[in-house]
Structure 1
């Protein structure tokens, strides 16, 4: 937090006050920022400081309980940590389309939530002769673009940054449990209305589900992404939700459990949003963090879009 004005005089308070503005936007628009006190100042207003890729990464990691992890997939996938950042793009996947968008925006730093090179650890030894990999890697190198995966760290925020992004987009913040935000008590209504609301807010064309569309639902257990069968099933048993809402699952695991629970007579439904749709709001959360903590660098969210469509 900035210190308050010095009570001994307006001039002393002014010379210590930090004025924050987006230099790139102001210059691009031909705007000159001025102040009626400018002539009284001992020194001119300073421009925003520049940041390297590493400095921005470190700023975010400082907010994470426990700080830097010894083992994580959240590493640079391309570029240098010493690169001075000209602009940032947040996204779920650093797809070729997203990379081209970043180039058009003049951004040389992409913060992605998921892998860049088609496997969790982004190992590329098996891809060295693959034409798609080589095209993508060369495109990043040619334009000097750094890609950082922010997956483990954003999920380790308290509360989880991705979950908070989803709750915000769904308009469910006020309904979330204070101690476990994944547990949401929404206004009671039929499953079909819950699904309709979710599709509209998360921009989903269709979802897969198990359950009676007319089933009354209030208690929702929300697991964005791919939390896995153990988390799904143990969550159902522990929290007794009316609806389990997930990003993705193995059909032969969680889905079969819910089908059997329904046959047993339990009041339960399952809604499968899709991995990208369920976690994209986490990249919006990242965008808002950047605007708050790195205000002098232009940041843009570029949705990677859904990889699969329905016929």
Structure 2
């Protein structure tokens, strides 16, 4: 067979093979059922502590606060995050539970080292602080305080979280501490808060049968000045707070009632009053970090009631 005849015989087969290879390549690129496509879809994004903090700032539309207490209390900004836990206080129990869950980033609302600025030398030679630092270092856990920025979210994550858990969102207004709820006796309001917020005991000033509709909700520690100013301005049926200086807010409410005032007082407790906010924050954050597990661990009430 001459070369010309041989070439004419081979060329059609060559063209067919080239066409088949091109078609196969196209399928590999566009078919979701092939292993190449499956492998690419399972690649997870890794996050550092700093990247998570930056995401919260960006998606929360938060502006930097120059003198904020919301800084890292342990760990490093560049460490890779294996999981996130939100909580009120990064207690020893919360730290140990986070380690069990392979979560090395705790976002806590309140101080880790027992003072507002988290200064480890707040009390010299503090052995509890030293042991807690060693525990955090052992498990390579970063702790970021999320207080100022938490309250700067729109809506405020804490007040919104409490209203949500109390089933009061239909009465809640962003930026306002005042809610008008269906009138209910003070005693029944106490029962509702204990059940919905999962609080064992509350402290109350007021007659349990008095009606309550206008509520001032101030979870956490707002301080006596702001408690009293809000009552003076709003004249609510009940003031609901996290904690008080007993010689300030409590005595003001007691004397106010003895002078004919109507405002009752419900004290929830600091930790349990703001915990729903950090629980809500975990719900807010999780959809933004699909490659990480975000869970809430309640630091719970530190007190036993006897």
**Into which bin does the TM-score normalised by the smaller protein fall?**
0.7 to 0.9
Match of 2:84 in 1: 88
What are the within-5 Å matches in structure 2 for residues 75-224 of structure 1?
75-127=71-123, 129-176=125-172, 178-224=173-219
Paired residue secondary structure (1:244): strand
Match of 1:226 in 2: 221
Distance 2:201 2:50 in 1: 39
What are the within-5 Å matches in structure 2 for residues 271-282 of structure 1?
271-282=266-277
Match of 1:297 in 2: 292
Distance 1:250 1:168 in 2: 27
Match of 2:261 in 1: 266
Q: Within the alignment, does 1:254 sit opposite 2:249 as a pair?
A: yes
1:179 Cα deviation from its structure 2 partner = 4.8
Q: Within the alignment, does 1:55 sit opposite 2:59 as a pair?
A: no
Q: Which runs of 4+ in 1 moved over 4 A?
A: 40-43
* C-alpha spacing 1:46/1:221, structure 2 compared with 1 (3 Å): same
Distance 1:45 1:65 in 2: 30
Give the structure with the higher percent helix: 2
Structure 1: runs of 5+ lacking an equivalent: 1-14, 17-35
Q: Within the alignment, does 1:235 sit opposite 2:233 as a pair?
A: no
Distance 1:171 1:272 in 2: 19
Q: Quick check: 180-189 or 278-287, which moved more?
A: 180-189
Distance 2:216 2:287 in 1: 30
Paired residue secondary structure (1:168): helix
Distance 2:35 2:115 in 1: 58
Distance 2:175 2:137 in 1: 42
2:66 to 63, 70, 79: 70
Once the two structures are superposed, what CA deviation does each residue of 1:32-73 show, in whole Å capped at 9, x if it has no partner? xxxx84349878315231110011111112244551111111
The two structures have a TM-score, normalised by structure 1, of 0.85
Once the two structures are superposed, what CA deviation does each residue of 1:94-124 show, in whole Å capped at 9, x if it has no partner? 1111110011001100011000001000001
Paired residue secondary structure (1:38): coil
Match of 2:5 in 1: none
- Indicate conservation of the 8 Å contact 1:165/1:282, yes or no: yes
Paired residue secondary structure (2:41): coil
Paired residue secondary structure (2:222): coil
1:129 Cα deviation from its structure 2 partner = 2.5
- Indicate conservation of the 8 Å contact 1:65/1:156, yes or no: no
Paired residue secondary structure (1:245): strand
The two structures have a TM-score, normalised by structure 2, of 0.86
1:130 Cα deviation from its structure 2 partner = 2.4
Distance 1:86 1:226 in 2: 32
Note the aligned Cα RMSD (angstroms).
1.9
- Indicate conservation of the 8 Å contact 1:128/1:134, yes or no: no
Distance 2:216 2:164 in 1: 16
Structure 2: runs of 5+ lacking an equivalent: 1-28
1:239 Cα deviation from its structure 2 partner = 1.6
